[in-house]
Amino acid sequence: MNLSLESVLEGQLLLVDKPLEWTSFQAVNKLRWALKKKYKLKKLKVGHAGTLDPLATGLLLICTGKMTKKISEIQALEKAYTGTITLGASTPSYDLETAIDQNFPIDHITKQQINTVKKKFEGEIDQYPPIFSAIKKDGKRLYEYARSGEKTKIEARKVTLYAFDFTQIDLPQLHFHVRCSKGTYVRSLAHDFGKALQSGAHLSQLRRTAIGAYRVADALTPDQITEQLEGL
């Protein structure tokens, strides 16, 4: 990772392994502050190409300088995740950002049924984003409607799952790998999968492993990048 002043100003793509409970903005702010301090800069453009929820870990692409102009292009790339769906309980946010609000039976669920239902979630599907999301409607973020208790209609969006496989079925947990298009909410995938099994579900773990050709195996945590920068 080239962190020289020239490279940072000209435009650098930083492969960041976002830690658990960090927001994407916290990762951006930490690196912006570290770069500005290192090179005594008053201003520096820094932005990320695709939000990761606080409870998700993994690959976050952060752009500096002129590379920020390519953010929308990078956001359009295919993404890959590993994670865990927990059956038998749902939450308003479809993950553990909010508390479990409903419990459901899972005694009727078999591995054969899981693999049959999974086929309905391959290829192009209609998906409803979670109400606890940053999508804007009528000038407000959906999560603002959710937090105020105000109801609003959410429109379905077409997304594509290029691959969706279970690496381990250990009820009530389903460990999965998914490759998907821009705009896919893995939280919604977990929620919808539970409903399709006549039960409920939420996303209990998520890690982004790839964005296009970029891999989390090549990424560093914000702290590791800061340490590398201090050593220059």
User: So which residues are the catalytic ones?
Assistant: 53
Separation of CA 105 from chain center: 28
| Residue 213, φ and ψ in degrees, nearest 5 | -90, -5
Q: Give the Cα separation of 99 and 81 in Å (integer).
A: 23
**Dihedral of the CA atoms 185, 195, 126, 49 (nearest 10)?**
0
Pairing of strands 56-64, 136-137: unpaired
Q: Which of 84, 50, 71 is nearest to 186 (CA)?
A: 84
